[in-house]
């Protein structure tokens, strides 16, 4: 374990004016608080906070951040209190330590709704002091470096969480080196075979072609010397995960993937960057569409660099990044550059962004999201985006994520422009609204009075801002219809548990669900954003969760290993009482299919993935959703009677979707939560006997299998 003297020596190398006394006191206090605690590897627990501090010292962070790293687990895992940390180290340090503790306690792998709320809390904590997130990222990096001591299931959980949340967050903050290492460490856990295969192929490639990096680096240095440019040239192979991701994105094998090498040129001035670019393009042929100028159009986290891809030796593509030393420091440490020290002084880097302003711009758009799912979608889009820059007819630059469409462009200008959009011109040519925009294009939005957003726009739009505005407009347009449908669904849901949906009950439920009023709640219920079960549970949680005690849902299936979880296949929606089989997915559990499901044909040549399963005997919970395909007459009150019939069979409607409307008939899909096959038969029999129901069938769609598989793999 690194000693206090070793840590201080590391800090003094870049900050001779460090507060040595403060660091020693924090080291001693942390060691005392964690005395007797050990990690799962058997090492003293305090070795972890020390290692986190070492990672941050490697980024030349200030004393406050290093002290926070040494103490970041004291409030959570020891007898130390906030008051004691505040008394010993001051209010600012105590606030930072408490912020890290709160981030650590967030359950980021729970349900989507909770995950969205946790993201919101994460950004709220980040907005107070970004160093909280820097310490948390270093904490996660060390945990991933030492993950082998954890149980396999915990390793997979932490790796998925790291891949989905912490790695992109590090990248969003400009700490690309940390993002790459977090991704590769997670990749090693989640798909070790793929990673090992890429490494083996890469070693074979090096053996066949020799040390390509040294040759190309030498070639570049010669060209720069000829041009009279003084610059530092380095090369490296991309990380295994980065190579694997490119293989997936381009649907190519390793042998056809050429741009697996990256080269970096560090110059003295910004003008030299463009001179280097000219020298490289004169010597090697540039690959069309692979040039990006992040110097004239920097990223929001301060990143500046020129990116180009050229055909190097033997026609192999190589990526080249060109930047100045100041730009390179920001590229390496991102937003953390704001706290970097050198020779005891805060580094003044003109390219480092103000972290307060940066996090404000990041959270400004996210704070406007009221819906949990929309907020989570906006967060992920913000964190994963790769920007393109387009121009308005007036010459204004509009930043959009890769894959954005004219609809996103319109809403980026103003919500009013987006709502009224009827067409677009790109570089003077009329194009469809689903066209993907590219860097440097000029976009003109065509509007018309009376135009309103179309439902299909949600699938065309990419940005969270556009999607949110479209959904809000559609929700308001259909509000009255949804309120009426929601009122009927609420009545049936309450009657199903022996209660009445009185005005007072509905007001109480709206208040419990933190919604503005009863109409807002009924509109969400009618639009399937709120389920009947959630509505009833807001007032009568015991009644809403009433289920058969004999068979807990988590143990409904027999034939699984203790560490295997399961989910019902969306294509066939099997229910207890039907014969079933399971298909295993690596690291994702088991998907349960009905024995006659057509989607099983896709796995006929993979017998090792099949499991012989059966339902547990006993009473099952009414949590098994089945989709019914109904055609009903278009008469007053028919839909209400249908809902009543389903409620009378003690079944709950969890979703309802009209898919075809005719003057005399409606066709709709109704999701009904059932206990078992017998329960399903009773519901279908009752509906079939209704004179206003012209046809009824259970929806079993093999196409849904791919959707389900995508969810499992996500």
Determine contact, residues 170/177, Cβ cutoff 8 Å: no
Q: Distance between CA 375 and CA 636 in Å, rounded?
A: 38
> Are 149 and 40 contacting, i.e. CB atoms less than 8 angstroms apart?
yes
- Where helices occur in 609-662 by DSSP H, the ranges are 638-648
- d(Cα 418, Cα 460) in Å, to the nearest integer? 13
Alpha helices in 448-569 (DSSP H): 457-460, 464-477, 479-496, 503-512, 518-526, 532-537, 541-544
76 tagged catalytic = yes
Euclidean distance between CA atoms 142 and 692, whole angstroms: 64
Check if 444 is active-site: no
* CA pair distance 204, 614, nearest whole angstrom: 47
> What is residue 611's three-state secondary structure?
strand
> Is there a contact between 265 and 220 (Cβ–Cβ < 8 Å)?
yes
- Joined together, the tokens standing for residue 521 give 């709640």
What is d(CA 460, CA 464) in angstroms, rounded to the nearest whole number?
A: 12
Identified catalytic residue from 76, 117, 367, 701? 76
| CA pair distance 671, 655, nearest whole angstrom | 5
Paired tokens of 8: 């201080």
Q: Which residues are CB-neighbours of 551 under 8 A, at least 6 positions away?
A: 576, 616, 617, 618, 619, 620, 621
Q: Exposed, middle or buried, 297 (CB in 10 Å: 0-12/13-18/19+)?
A: middle
Catalytic annotation, pick one of 77, 117, 319, 701: 77
Q: Which active-site residues does the annotation give?
A: 76-77
């Amino acid at each position: 374990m690194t000693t206090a003297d070793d840590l201080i020596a590391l800090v003094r190398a870049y900050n001779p004016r460090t507060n040595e006394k403060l660091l020693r006191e924090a080291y001693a206090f942390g060691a005392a608080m964690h005395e007797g605690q050990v990690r799962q590897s058997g090492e003293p627990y305090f070795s972890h906070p020390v290692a986190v501090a070492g990672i941050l010292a490697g980024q030349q962070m200030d004393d406050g951040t290093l002290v926070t790293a040494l103490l970041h687990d004291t409030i959570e895992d020891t007898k130390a209190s906030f008051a004691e940390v505040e008394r010993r180290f001051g209010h600012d340090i105590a606030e930072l330590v408490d912020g890290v503790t709160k981030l650590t306690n967030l359950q980021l792998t729970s349900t989507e709704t909770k995950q969205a709320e946790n993201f919101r809390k994460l950004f709220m904590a980040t907005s107070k002091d970004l160093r909280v997130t820097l310490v948390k990222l270093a904490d996660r990096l060390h945990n991933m470096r030492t993950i082998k001591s954890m149980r396999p299931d915990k390793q997979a959980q932490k790796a998925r969480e790291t891949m989905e949340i912490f790695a992109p967050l590090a990248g969003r903050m400009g700490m690309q080196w940390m993002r790459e290492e977090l991704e590769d460490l997670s990749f090693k856990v989640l798909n070790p075979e793929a990673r090992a295969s890429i490494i083996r192929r890469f070693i074979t490639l090096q053996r066949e072609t020799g040390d390509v990096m040294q040759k190309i680096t030498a070639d570049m240095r010669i060209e720069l010397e000829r041009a009279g440019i003084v610059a530092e040239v380095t090369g490296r192979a991309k990380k295994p995960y980065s190579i694997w991701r490119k293989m997936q994105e381009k649907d190519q094998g390793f042998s056809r993937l050429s741009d697996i090498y990256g080269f970096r040129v560090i110059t003295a001035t910004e003008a030299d960057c463009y001179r280097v670019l000219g020298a490289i393009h004169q010597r090697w042929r540039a690959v069309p569409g692979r040039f990006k100028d992040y110097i004239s159009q920097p990223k929001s986290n301060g990143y500046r660099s020129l990116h180009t891809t050229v055909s190097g030796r033997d026609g192999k593509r190589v990526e080249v990044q060109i930047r100045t030393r100041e730009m390179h420091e920001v590229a390496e440490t991102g937003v953390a550059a704001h706290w970097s020290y050198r020779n005891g002084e805060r580094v003044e880097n003109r390219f480092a962004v103000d972290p307060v302003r940066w996090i404000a711009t990041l959270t400004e758009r996210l704070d406007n999201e009221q819906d949990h799912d929309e907020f989570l979608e906006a967060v992920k889009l913000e964190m994963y985006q790769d920007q393109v820059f387009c121009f308005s007819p007036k010459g204004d630059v509009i930043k959009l994520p890769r894959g954005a469409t004219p609809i996103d462009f319109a809403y980026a200008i103003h919500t009013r422009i987006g709502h009224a959009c009827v067409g677009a011109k790109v570089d003077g040519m009329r194009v469809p609204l689903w066209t993907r925009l590219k860097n440097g294009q000029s976009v003109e939005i065509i509007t018309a009075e009376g135009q309103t957003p179309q439902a299909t726009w949600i699938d065309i739009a990419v940005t969270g801002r556009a999607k949110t505005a479209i959904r809000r407009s559609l929700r308001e347009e259909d509000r009255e219809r949804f309120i009426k449908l929601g009122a009927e669904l609420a009545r049936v849901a309450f009657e199903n548990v022996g209660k009445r949906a009185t005005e007072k009950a509905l007001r109480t439920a709206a208040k419990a669900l933190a919604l503005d009023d009863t109409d807002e709640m009924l509109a969400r219920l009618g639009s399937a954003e709120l389920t009947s079960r959630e509505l009833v549970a807001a007032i009568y949680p015991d009644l809403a969760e009433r289920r058969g005690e004999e068979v807990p849902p988590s143990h409904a299936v027999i034939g699984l290993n203790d560490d295997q979880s399961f989910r019902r296949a969306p294509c066939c929606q099997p229910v207890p009482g039907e014969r079933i089989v399971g298909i295993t997915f690596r690291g994702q559990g088991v998907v349960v299919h009905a024995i006659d499901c057509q989607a099983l044909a896709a796995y006929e040549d993979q017998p090792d993935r099949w499991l012989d399963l059966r339902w547990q005997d006993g009473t099952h919970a009414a949590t098994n959703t089945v989709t019914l395909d109904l055609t009903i007459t278009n008469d007053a009150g028919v839909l209400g009677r249908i809902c009543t019939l389903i409620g009378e069979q003690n079944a709950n409607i969890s979703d309802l979707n009209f898919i075809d409307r005719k003057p005399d008939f409606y066709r709709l899909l109704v999701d009904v939560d059932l206990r078992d096959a017998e329960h399903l038969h009773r519901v279908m029999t009752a509906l079939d006997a209704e004179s206003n129901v012209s046809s009824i069938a259970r929806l079993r769609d093999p196409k849904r299998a791919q959707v389900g598989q995508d969810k499992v793999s996500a």
